[in-house]
Amino acid sequence: RTVKSGEDVTIACNSTIRDKNKVFWYKQSFGKVPQFFARYQGKNSYAFANRFLDSRFGFTVNEHQFDLNIKNLREDDVGDYFCGEMELTTIKFTSGTRLQFEAEKHWILYALTTFSIISVLVIMVLVGVLFKNHRKGASSRKPEISSNQADDEDVLNYAAVSFAKKPSSSRTSRDQRHEDVYAQVRIK
């Protein structure tokens, strides 16, 4: 049963009560062993275990009922509540109810989850683009050699350089000579 903090709740004991002096309530908190909670004491009264002595707890008691009432629920009230009858030396549990708080909706949790998913998708797209560009860049760095081209070692580059002689200051020379120098440069 889903409850809210501060709420009042009644948990019915679904038992065909023959002898109410043999009726008990137990509470089991999540992850713990069941603890004795209360028992019928006679004359429409009841007795609580010491750890559960709290004015918030009470019972509806009559000929056919021994229902647990909890007022102003707190977080430590969540757990399983069992009603049972003593038969010889064992307790036969006849009904049980689980109390758990209603989950609060935290919009920040939804926002962070959405942001995280979008971030992961963007990162995956960027990694894919980088990988594709890396592969494309690696293939474009390979020189394409056709069958009619020579190897890199045999390729020569030429450059023509002209040096003009400085005319003498006393007399301008009409005759200008040019010398062409060729050099061999090998690039690897």
**DSSP category for residue 185:** B
Count the Cβ atoms, other than its own, within 10 Å of residue 82: 20
Which phi and psi angles does 88 have, rounded to 5°?
A: 60, -105
Q: Is the pLDDT of residue 173 over 70?
A: no
Amino acid, res. 162: S
pLDDT bin (cut points 50, 70, 90) of residue 116 is very high
Q: Are 38 and 48 in contact (CB under 8 A)?
A: yes
Q: Which of 56-60, 96-100, 151-155, 180-184 has the lowest mean pLDDT?
A: 151-155
- Distance between CA atoms of 32 and 55, rounded to whole angstroms? 24
Compare 26 and 63 and report the one with higher pLDDT: 26
* Domain residue ranges in the chain: 2-101
Q: Are 56 and 110 in contact (CB under 8 A)?
A: no
- N residues, the chain: 188
pLDDT bin (cut points 50, 70, 90) of residue 151 is low
pLDDT in tens, 31-42: 898 888 988 877
Q: Is the pLDDT of residue 112 over 90?
A: no
The pTM of the full predicted model, rounded to 2 decimals, is 0.51
Q: Which CATH number fits domain 2-101: 1.20.1250.20, 3.50.50.60, 2.60.40.10, 2.40.50.100?
A: 2.60.40.10
